[in-house]
Structure 1
Protein backbone atom coordinates (compact mmCIF):
# COMPACT_ATOMS: atom_id res chain seq x y z
CA UNK A 1 0.00 0.00 0.00
CA UNK A 2 2.83 2.40 0.86
CA UNK A 3 4.47 1.70 -2.50
CA UNK A 4 1.21 2.40 -4.32
CA UNK A 5 0.68 5.70 -2.47
CA UNK A 6 4.27 6.79 -3.14
CA UNK A 7 3.83 5.98 -6.81
CA UNK A 8 0.62 8.02 -6.94
CA UNK A 9 2.36 11.01 -5.36
CA UNK A 10 5.23 10.76 -7.84
CA UNK A 11 2.83 10.60 -10.78
CA UNK A 12 0.87 13.58 -9.43
CA UNK A 13 4.13 15.54 -9.11
CA UNK A 14 5.02 14.79 -12.72
CA UNK A 15 1.58 15.86 -13.89
CA UNK A 16 1.97 19.19 -12.07
CA UNK A 17 5.37 19.76 -13.68
CA UNK A 18 3.95 19.04 -17.15
CA UNK A 19 1.02 21.38 -16.59
CA UNK A 20 3.32 24.16 -15.35
CA UNK A 21 5.62 23.77 -18.36
CA UNK A 22 2.76 24.03 -20.82
CA UNK A 23 1.05 26.88 -18.99
CA UNK A 24 4.33 28.82 -18.69
CA UNK A 25 6.38 27.97 -21.82
CA UNK A 26 8.88 30.74 -21.08
CA UNK A 27 10.62 28.46 -18.56
CA UNK A 28 11.33 25.79 -21.15
CA UNK A 29 14.57 27.38 -22.34
CA UNK A 30 17.99 27.13 -20.74
CA UNK A 31 20.93 27.98 -22.96
CA UNK A 32 24.40 29.48 -22.52
CA UNK A 33 25.75 32.20 -24.79
CA UNK A 34 29.43 32.46 -25.67
CA UNK A 35 31.39 35.10 -27.54
CA UNK A 36 32.89 33.77 -30.77
CA UNK A 37 34.58 36.92 -32.05
CA UNK A 38 34.85 40.63 -31.36
CA UNK A 39 36.40 43.59 -33.15
CA UNK A 40 36.27 47.11 -31.73
CA UNK A 41 36.65 50.16 -33.97
CA UNK A 42 37.28 52.81 -31.35
CA UNK A 43 38.16 53.52 -27.75
CA UNK A 44 36.48 56.21 -25.68
CA UNK A 45 39.37 57.44 -23.57
CA UNK A 46 40.75 60.84 -24.50
CA UNK A 47 44.15 59.93 -23.16
CA UNK A 48 45.74 57.08 -25.09
CA UNK A 49 45.63 54.00 -22.91
CA UNK A 50 44.77 50.34 -23.04
CA UNK A 51 40.97 49.99 -22.88
CA UNK A 52 39.13 47.68 -20.49
CA UNK A 53 36.18 46.28 -22.43
CA UNK A 54 33.43 44.32 -20.77
CA UNK A 55 30.01 42.79 -21.50
CA UNK A 56 27.08 43.21 -19.15
CA UNK A 57 23.42 42.20 -18.95
CA UNK A 58 21.06 43.92 -16.54
CA UNK A 59 21.11 42.37 -13.07
CA UNK A 60 24.17 40.21 -13.79
CA UNK A 61 27.88 40.52 -13.13
CA UNK A 62 29.97 42.18 -15.80
CA UNK A 63 32.29 40.04 -17.88
CA UNK A 64 35.65 41.67 -18.58
CA UNK A 65 37.29 40.75 -21.90
CA UNK A 66 40.97 40.86 -20.99
CA UNK A 67 42.29 40.08 -24.47
CA UNK A 68 40.51 42.92 -26.25
CA UNK A 69 43.08 45.72 -26.26
CA UNK A 70 43.51 47.02 -29.81
CA UNK A 71 41.15 48.54 -32.36
CA UNK A 72 40.65 46.99 -35.81
CA UNK A 73 41.83 43.64 -34.52
CA UNK A 74 39.56 40.61 -34.77
CA UNK A 75 39.68 38.56 -31.58
CA UNK A 76 38.47 34.99 -32.00
CA UNK A 77 37.44 32.83 -29.05
CA UNK A 78 36.90 29.11 -28.57
CA UNK A 79 34.18 29.33 -25.95
CA UNK A 80 36.50 27.80 -23.34
CA UNK A 81 38.06 30.99 -22.04
CA UNK A 82 37.88 31.80 -18.33
CA UNK A 83 35.33 34.58 -18.89
CA UNK A 84 32.97 32.33 -20.88
CA UNK A 85 30.02 32.01 -21.06
CA UNK A 86 28.91 35.61 -21.37
CA UNK A 87 25.38 34.96 -20.17
CA UNK A 88 22.63 32.35 -20.02
CA UNK A 89 19.04 32.46 -21.18
CA UNK A 90 16.75 30.70 -18.72
CA UNK A 91 13.55 31.95 -20.34
CA UNK A 92 12.51 33.04 -23.83
CA UNK A 93 12.44 36.66 -22.67
CA UNK A 94 15.00 39.22 -23.81
CA UNK A 95 17.69 40.85 -21.68
CA UNK A 96 19.07 44.37 -21.78
CA UNK A 97 22.77 43.84 -22.55
CA UNK A 98 25.70 45.72 -24.01
CA UNK A 99 29.41 46.25 -24.47
CA UNK A 100 31.08 48.89 -22.31
CA UNK A 101 34.47 50.44 -21.65
CA UNK A 102 35.61 51.31 -18.15
CA UNK A 103 36.28 54.99 -17.59
CA UNK A 104 38.63 56.16 -14.85
CA UNK A 105 37.23 59.69 -14.53
CA UNK A 106 33.49 59.41 -15.15
CA UNK A 107 30.78 56.84 -15.82
CA UNK A 108 31.70 53.97 -18.11
CA UNK A 109 31.41 54.50 -21.85
CA UNK A 110 28.91 52.57 -23.94
CA UNK A 111 29.74 50.84 -27.20
CA UNK A 112 26.12 49.73 -27.57
CA UNK A 113 23.11 48.57 -25.54
CA UNK A 114 20.32 46.45 -26.98
CA UNK A 115 17.60 43.91 -26.25
CA UNK A 116 19.41 40.58 -26.41
CA UNK A 117 16.98 37.73 -27.19
CA UNK A 118 17.15 33.96 -27.77
CA UNK A 119 15.24 34.57 -31.00
CA UNK A 120 18.23 36.53 -32.36
CA UNK A 121 20.14 33.32 -32.99
CA UNK A 122 19.80 31.49 -36.30
CA UNK A 123 18.52 27.92 -36.25
CA UNK A 124 21.03 26.91 -38.94
CA UNK A 125 24.26 27.65 -37.07
CA UNK A 126 23.27 29.11 -33.69
CA UNK A 127 25.05 32.40 -34.40
CA UNK A 128 24.05 36.02 -33.93
CA UNK A 129 26.07 38.93 -35.35
CA UNK A 130 25.75 42.34 -33.72
CA UNK A 131 27.30 45.36 -35.47
CA UNK A 132 27.34 49.00 -34.40
CA UNK A 133 28.76 51.52 -36.84
CA UNK A 134 32.13 52.95 -35.76
CA UNK A 135 31.93 50.95 -32.52
CA UNK A 136 32.28 47.15 -32.84
CA UNK A 137 31.38 43.94 -34.60
CA UNK A 138 30.61 40.86 -32.47
CA UNK A 139 29.53 37.29 -33.15
CA UNK A 140 27.73 35.34 -30.44
CA UNK A 141 27.11 31.60 -30.33
CA UNK A 142 24.21 29.75 -28.71
CA UNK A 143 23.41 26.27 -30.03
CA UNK A 144 20.59 25.68 -27.55
CA UNK A 145 18.70 28.90 -28.23
CA UNK A 146 15.39 28.39 -29.98
CA UNK A 147 13.86 30.59 -32.63
CA UNK A 148 10.60 31.92 -31.19
CA UNK A 149 9.78 34.69 -33.66
CA UNK A 150 7.19 32.91 -35.84
CA UNK A 151 6.74 36.04 -37.93
CA UNK A 152 10.34 36.06 -39.16
CA UNK A 153 11.71 34.92 -42.51
CA UNK A 154 12.76 31.61 -40.99
CA UNK A 155 9.13 30.42 -41.10
CA UNK A 156 8.00 29.05 -44.42
CA UNK A 157 4.81 30.37 -46.08
CA UNK A 158 2.88 27.20 -45.32
CA UNK A 159 3.24 27.96 -41.58
CA UNK A 160 5.23 24.84 -40.76
CA UNK A 161 6.37 26.56 -37.57
CA UNK A 162 2.78 27.03 -36.42
CA UNK A 163 1.92 23.45 -37.34
CA UNK A 164 4.84 22.10 -35.36
CA UNK A 165 3.97 24.26 -32.37
CA UNK A 166 0.37 23.08 -32.42
CA UNK A 167 1.54 19.47 -32.75
CA UNK A 168 3.70 19.86 -29.65
CA UNK A 169 0.80 21.44 -27.76
CA UNK A 170 -1.59 18.65 -28.78
CA UNK A 171 0.94 15.98 -27.78
CA UNK A 172 1.47 17.71 -24.45
CA UNK A 173 -2.26 17.92 -23.77
CA UNK A 174 -2.64 14.26 -24.69
CA UNK A 175 0.13 13.32 -22.27
CA UNK A 176 -1.49 15.34 -19.48
CA UNK A 177 -4.94 13.83 -20.11
CA UNK A 178 -3.52 10.30 -20.31
CA UNK A 179 -1.62 10.78 -17.07
CA UNK A 180 -4.70 12.15 -15.31
CA UNK A 181 -6.79 9.22 -16.52
CA UNK A 182 -4.08 6.83 -15.35
CA UNK A 183 -4.08 8.41 -11.89
CA UNK A 184 -7.87 8.23 -11.74
CA UNK A 185 -7.69 4.58 -12.73
CA UNK A 186 -5.20 3.90 -9.96
CA UNK A 187 -7.44 5.72 -7.48
CA UNK A 188 -10.52 3.71 -8.52
CA UNK A 189 -8.52 0.48 -8.33
CA UNK A 190 -7.26 1.44 -4.88
CA UNK A 191 -10.79 2.18 -3.65
CA UNK A 192 -12.04 -1.11 -5.09
CA UNK A 193 -9.21 -2.96 -3.37
CA UNK A 194 -10.13 -1.30 -0.05
CA UNK A 195 -13.78 -2.29 -0.50
CA UNK A 196 -12.88 -5.89 -1.32
CA UNK A 197 -10.55 -6.04 1.69
CA UNK A 198 -13.32 -4.81 4.00
CA UNK A 199 -15.71 -7.38 2.57
CA UNK A 200 -13.17 -10.16 3.07
CA UNK A 201 -12.51 -9.02 6.66
CA UNK A 202 -16.25 -9.00 7.38
CA UNK A 203 -16.65 -12.43 5.82
CA UNK A 204 -13.81 -13.84 7.92
CA UNK A 205 -15.32 -12.24 11.04
CA UNK A 206 -18.76 -13.75 10.37
CA UNK A 207 -17.22 -17.13 9.56
CA UNK A 208 -15.40 -17.04 12.88
CA UNK A 209 -18.72 -16.73 14.74
CA UNK A 210 -20.26 -19.45 12.61
CA UNK A 211 -17.39 -21.79 13.43
CA UNK A 212 -17.80 -20.97 17.14
CA UNK A 213 -21.53 -21.86 17.00
CA UNK A 214 -20.77 -25.16 15.28
CA UNK A 215 -18.23 -26.11 17.97
CA UNK A 216 -20.74 -25.27 20.73
CA UNK A 217 -23.41 -27.44 19.05
CA UNK A 218 -21.02 -30.37 18.79
CA UNK A 219 -20.09 -30.07 22.45
CA UNK A 220 -23.73 -29.63 23.53
CA UNK A 221 -23.01 -26.18 24.84
CA UNK A 222 -25.84 -23.82 24.05
CA UNK A 223 -26.73 -20.34 25.07
CA UNK A 224 -27.41 -19.68 28.73
CA UNK A 225 -31.12 -19.27 28.00
CA UNK A 226 -31.38 -22.84 26.65
CA UNK A 227 -29.82 -24.40 29.78
CA UNK A 228 -32.28 -22.77 32.18
Structure 2
Protein backbone atom coordinates (compact mmCIF):
# COMPACT_ATOMS: atom_id res chain seq x y z
CA UNK A 1 0.00 0.00 0.00
CA UNK A 2 1.27 3.44 -0.83
CA UNK A 3 -0.05 5.27 2.21
CA UNK A 4 -3.21 6.66 0.66
CA UNK A 5 -5.33 3.81 1.99
CA UNK A 6 -6.99 6.04 4.55
CA UNK A 7 -8.10 8.44 1.82
CA UNK A 8 -9.49 5.58 -0.21
CA UNK A 9 -11.34 4.12 2.78
CA UNK A 10 -12.73 7.57 3.63
CA UNK A 11 -14.05 7.93 0.09
CA UNK A 12 -15.56 4.44 0.26
CA UNK A 13 -17.20 5.25 3.58
CA UNK A 14 -18.60 8.49 2.15
CA UNK A 15 -19.95 6.64 -0.88
CA UNK A 16 -21.63 3.97 1.23
CA UNK A 17 -23.10 6.59 3.55
CA UNK A 18 -24.55 8.58 0.66
CA UNK A 19 -26.04 5.44 -0.90
CA UNK A 20 -27.63 4.42 2.40
CA UNK A 21 -29.06 7.92 2.88
CA UNK A 22 -30.51 7.83 -0.63
CA UNK A 23 -32.10 4.47 0.12
CA UNK A 24 -33.62 5.81 3.33
CA UNK A 25 -35.03 8.91 1.64
CA UNK A 26 -36.36 6.70 -1.15
CA UNK A 27 -38.36 4.73 1.40
CA UNK A 28 -40.25 7.80 2.51
CA UNK A 29 -43.55 8.55 0.91
CA UNK A 30 -44.78 11.90 -0.33
CA UNK A 31 -47.08 13.24 2.37
CA UNK A 32 -50.00 15.11 0.86
CA UNK A 33 -51.94 17.45 3.10
CA UNK A 34 -55.42 16.01 3.54
CA UNK A 35 -58.09 17.37 5.79
CA UNK A 36 -60.23 14.30 6.31
CA UNK A 37 -60.32 11.89 9.20
CA UNK A 38 -57.58 9.60 7.86
CA UNK A 39 -54.91 12.09 8.97
CA UNK A 40 -54.70 10.62 12.45
CA UNK A 41 -54.17 7.07 11.18
CA UNK A 42 -51.56 8.25 8.66
CA UNK A 43 -49.74 10.11 11.41
CA UNK A 44 -49.42 7.01 13.59
CA UNK A 45 -48.20 4.87 10.69
CA UNK A 46 -45.66 7.52 9.68
CA UNK A 47 -44.24 7.35 13.20
CA UNK A 48 -43.53 3.65 12.67
CA UNK A 49 -41.93 4.37 9.32
CA UNK A 50 -39.69 7.01 10.87
CA UNK A 51 -38.64 4.54 13.54
CA UNK A 52 -37.88 1.98 10.86
CA UNK A 53 -35.76 4.51 8.98
CA UNK A 54 -33.80 5.37 12.11
CA UNK A 55 -33.29 1.68 12.85
CA UNK A 56 -32.06 1.01 9.31
CA UNK A 57 -29.68 3.96 9.50
CA UNK A 58 -28.25 2.72 12.81
CA UNK A 59 -27.83 -0.81 11.47
CA UNK A 60 -26.11 0.56 8.35
CA UNK A 61 -23.70 2.65 10.41
CA UNK A 62 -22.97 -0.33 12.68
CA UNK A 63 -22.23 -2.54 9.66
CA UNK A 64 -19.89 0.11 8.25
CA UNK A 65 -18.06 0.39 11.57
CA UNK A 66 -17.59 -3.38 11.86
CA UNK A 67 -16.43 -3.61 8.24
CA UNK A 68 -13.99 -0.74 8.74
CA UNK A 69 -12.59 -2.35 11.90
CA UNK A 70 -12.16 -5.69 10.11
CA UNK A 71 -10.39 -4.08 7.15
CA UNK A 72 -8.14 -2.07 9.47
CA UNK A 73 -7.09 -5.24 11.33
CA UNK A 74 -6.35 -6.99 8.03
CA UNK A 75 -4.25 -4.01 6.92
CA UNK A 76 -2.33 -4.04 10.22
CA UNK A 77 -1.62 -7.77 9.89
CA UNK A 78 -0.36 -7.34 6.32
CA UNK A 79 1.93 -4.45 7.31
CA UNK A 80 3.28 -6.46 10.25
CA UNK A 81 4.06 -9.42 7.96
CA UNK A 82 5.82 -7.13 5.46
CA UNK A 83 7.94 -5.60 8.21
CA UNK A 84 8.81 -9.04 9.57
CA UNK A 85 9.88 -10.19 6.10
CA UNK A 86 12.06 -7.09 5.70
CA UNK A 87 13.66 -7.74 9.09
CA UNK A 88 14.42 -11.35 8.20
CA UNK A 89 15.89 -10.27 4.88
CA UNK A 90 18.05 -7.68 6.62
CA UNK A 91 19.56 -10.20 9.03
CA UNK A 92 19.88 -13.22 6.74
CA UNK A 93 23.40 -14.45 6.29
CA UNK A 94 25.07 -13.77 2.98
CA UNK A 95 27.86 -16.34 2.71
CA UNK A 96 29.11 -15.07 -0.66
CA UNK A 97 29.80 -11.62 0.74
CA UNK A 98 31.74 -13.07 3.67
CA UNK A 99 33.88 -15.18 1.32
CA UNK A 100 34.62 -12.14 -0.88
CA UNK A 101 35.66 -10.08 2.13
CA UNK A 102 37.90 -12.85 3.37
CA UNK A 103 35.98 -13.34 6.60
CA UNK A 104 35.18 -16.97 5.81
CA UNK A 105 36.85 -19.64 3.69
Distance 1:209 1:199 in 2: 16
Greater Rg over alpha carbons, structure: 1
Aligned length: 80
Residues 160 and 176 of structure 1: CA distance in aligned 2, closer, same or farther (over 3 Å): same
Q: CA deviation at 1:155?
A: 5.5
**What TM-score, normalized by structure 1, do the two folds share?**
0.28
Query: Relative contact order (C-alpha < 8 Å, sep 6+): which is higher?
Result: 2
Q: CA deviation at 1:162?
A: 1.5
Distance 1:220 1:154 in 2: 102
Q: Which one has a larger percent helix, Structure 1 or Structure 2? A: 2
Residues 221 and 168 of structure 1: CA distance in aligned 2, closer, same or farther (over 3 Å): same
Computed over aligned residues only, the root mean square deviation of the Cα atoms, in angstroms, reads: 3.4
- The corresponding residue for 2:42 is 160
The answer to whether structure 1 residue 189 and structure 2 residue 71 are counterparts is yes
Residues 169 and 154 of structure 1: CA distance in aligned 2, closer, same or farther (over 3 Å): farther
Q: CA deviation at 1:221?
A: 2.9
- The corresponding residue for 1:205 is 87
Q: Counterparts in 2 of 1:143-158, with a 5 A limit?
A: 156=38
